[in-house]
Amino acid sequence: MKKLTLKVKPLDMETGRNIVVLHEDDAEELGHFAGDRVTLATPKITIVAIANATRRMVQQGELGTFVEVTEALGLKLGDEVTVSLAPRPQSVAAIKKKMTGQQLSSEEIGAIIRDIVADNLTTTEMTAFVVAEYIKGMGTDEIVALTRHMVDTGDTLELDVKPVLDVHSIGGVPGNKYALIVVPIVAAAGLTVPKTSSRAITSGAGTADVMEVLANVTLSLDEIKKIVTRVGAVLAWGGAVRLAPADDIIIRTERMLGVDPRCQLLASVMSKKLAVGADHILIDIPTGPGSKVEQIEEARDLARDFIELGHRLGVQVESAVTYGGQPVGYAVGPALEAKEALETLRGNGPGSLVEKATSLAGIMLELGGAAAPGLGRQTAMEILSSGKACQKMCEIIEAQGGDPKIKPEDIYIGEKKETLTAPQSGYVTHIYNQRINDIARAAGAPRDKGAGLRILMKEGRKVDKGEPCLEIYAEHETKLDEAIAIAKRYPPVKIEGMLLEKMSSRPRIW
């Protein structure tokens, strides 16, 4: 096999995967075509990367290495790297097999996941795998294998305690900061909850974005273990640790395609939970207009799938179908949601957030044996009302490097503000979840922690013309203007009178 020794030219750009650039003459000598894999070898390390060819970015005899490759091989300008063509991974054949609708063996699925983690698949091959999952689906045996291999190819959290509980919401509802209430309630009852969460992808804030307002969420696996051992719980960003890393890579492809294969959703959630050692898991499935799962029958089917998958994987799973037709609470955006969460822990939270959080916490308390069957929510309410959950949250914040004495009024909210009013009198008949998210993101959330919005009224509320119905917050004037423009173009709150439509029997005049 032909090999070339090339001098490194680091390129200061992140690509999200291992990519290098060859000069066209070197590529021709190797027999390389654009997008082919190459093996890169130094005296100490060998990796596989995707290579492209150019006549401008590098000279003949040079190898352009983007940030990921430069760091993986510990390279600097002028270092020498041996480059050769890499064979096509065997997992590509398994991907083609799934594209035809055939069932994959555990070994075939394992090969795909290992190649994903090793960055051995091209963007085209990754896309083919995700599309095949979406169109052809997977059987239960395949999903079980997919989940197990996703766990096995990453790190795991080993805790010397049982039971270990976890909760996950499939999302899709603005303002869903339930975890900042549920986790301290459950931990205050003496149970263990190592909660790792994601940042927002399409919403105004993910759990990690909200918690980051109060404390550090970028924690190592050792730090997570120490915190959980000391205070019983953590609220950390899952992206900072290698828990089921194939999932994070696959999600990037799903996001680009705008698809979320059901089989991958099941494996994604369960692999993350198994990786932190959870043996009692609660899945929250918000359902309603504008949520990920709009029909209750579909939600029930998904709940049953999670329960069956848990049974096959040897863990106890319960599912809760919750109302997701409008935002949870009134605040959307990292700082605004953190403020509302602290207010709730102090006894001043909105009814929808209190109800959802205590309902979910109650199920977890029963799962963990800290509450008698049927008395979970009552126990959760008692823990919340007594202030024990608030005290536990202060302990979690302090353990994660935050200020345990922080008060809701201490949290910085964007100083640029606009209040939108009702264009007519009537009743709030609908709140559009996606429009709420779009406005919050236009205002700068979640990157700008102080950006977001507050909804001042919910469905069914009587409203007078000119009455405030929405407050938008931003840290920058231009962002505020952008959010206002979207809110006016696509009103997030629908207001109607009692007369919805007028029909007439009079003949039409032609």
Where in the sequence numbering do the catalytic residues fall? Answer: 260
What gap in Å lies between CA 473 and CA 34, rounded to an integer?
47
CB 199 within 8 A of CB 181: no
CB-based contact 345:389 (threshold 8 Å) = yes
How many CB atoms within 10 Å of residue 24? 15
Asked whether the beta carbons of 27 and 53 are under 8 A apart, the reply is yes
User: Helix, strand or coil for residue 450?
Assistant: coil
Measured at the CA of 349, the angle between CA 186 and CA 203, to 5 degrees, comes to 80
Find residue 7's DSSP bridge partners.
Answer: 62, 80
Mention every residue, 6+ apart, whose C-beta is less than 8 A from residue 56.
none
**Is the separation of the CB atoms in 203 and 171 below 8 Å?**
yes
Is 445 within 8 Å of 332 (Cβ atoms)? yes
- Strands, sheet with 462-463, edge to edge from the N-terminal-most edge strand: 462-463, 426-431, 493-496
Place of tokens 């709009």: 294
**Beta pairing class for 331-332 and 426-431:** unpaired
Residue 296 CB neighbour total at 10 angstroms = 13
How does strand 46-54 pair with strand 62-65?
unpaired
Q: In whole angstroms, give the CA distance from residue 137 to residue 98.
A: 9
Cβ burial of 370 (10 Å; 0-12, 13-18, 19+) is buried
Closest CA to 334 of 447, 202, 181, 198: 447
- Host H or E run for residue 395: helix 388-399
Q: Which amino acid makes up residue 421?
A: T
Three-point CA angle 347, 350, 352, nearest 5°: 125
Residue type, 84: S
